[in-house]
Amino acid sequence: MKIDHLTPEDWAAHDPTWPQRLVRWLWSRPGRVIYRYRGYGAHPRVPTEGGFLLAPGPHGAFVDPFIYALGQPRTRLRFMAKYQALEWPVLGRLIRWAGGFPVHRGGSRSQTALGVAQTVVESGDGLVVFMEGRLELDHTGLGTPRNGLARLALATGVPVIPVAAWGSKRARAYGKRWWYHWPRVTVVWGEQLQFPKEDDPSEERVAQVRDEIWAQVHVCFDQAKAIEFAPGRRPRRGTPLEQALPPGVLTR
């Protein structure tokens, strides 16, 4: 499926409301069971209205946007996908239908995706941005963040929500074989961050904001891992983070 005929305006104007409501209705309960999802942390997890940026880590599976959608109530989330994926015959149509839009990695064409992203956020939608910019499949930790989300945060001034998951990667990353691995995903949501809007931030300022956001993603990731490896069973979904964490683990 070729997508070159679609303009940035076409991608920004796409409305995924009813597909996402359908997917949420079909997916929410089975998804919680299949992935043994448990969510902890800040409430409310995302703003009840207006645009925001969701900063998850790590990006360990194609299903990640759906996993993070389980833990928040908004029915419109947009997300970036690599350009090639949107040209796949079946999956590409599904990604577009569900709210994805293409990004070229590197070069001047990547700026087009950032322009679409800014329009999407300023129109009031939530946008999922994986700061690593790629799937990190072969290890349990986080990857290296890129600058795109920090640029968007400064260009729009909208809230940024750090969040991290343990358990969403393929079994091999955790030293397990796929045929008996039943995923068990623990997600920790952080407190909102917000940065003053800047029209032309310096590279140093972009790097500073990137590192500040990524540091909070690291905190959420460490907490998710600590909950997963705590003695006994994981606390019930919705347990306050302070109660879910093992003794001696800092909450922030």
Three-state helix/strand/coil letters over the chain: CCCCCCCHHHHHHCCCHHHHHHHHHHHHHHHHHHCCCEEEECCCCCCCCCCEEEEEECCCCCCHHHHHHCCCCCCCEEEEEECCHHHCCCHHHHHHHCCEEEECCCCCHHHHHHHHHHHHHHCCCEEECCCCCCCCCCCCCCCCCCCHHHHHHHHHCCCEEEEEEECCCCHHHHCCCHHHCCCCCEEEECCCECCCCCCCCCHHHHHHHHHHHHHHHHHHHHHHHHHHCCCCCCCCCCCCHHHHCCCCCCCC
Which residue range is the domain that position 118 belongs to?
A: 8-244
Task: Record the pTM.
Answer: 0.89
In a domain, 250, yes or no: no
In a domain, 251, yes or no: no
pLDDT digits (tens, 9 = 90+) for 48-85: 889 999 999 998 888 888 888 888 888 788 988 888 88
In a domain, 127, yes or no: yes
Please, which pLDDT band fits residue 188 given cuts at 50, 70 and 90?
very high
In a domain, 1, yes or no: no
pLDDT at site 179: 61
In a domain, 249, yes or no: no
User: How many structural domains compose the chain?
Assistant: 1
In a domain, 42, yes or no: yes
What CATH number should be reported for the domain holding residue 116?
3.40.1130
pLDDT at site 14: 85
In a domain, 202, yes or no: yes
pLDDT at site 159: 96
In a domain, 100, yes or no: yes
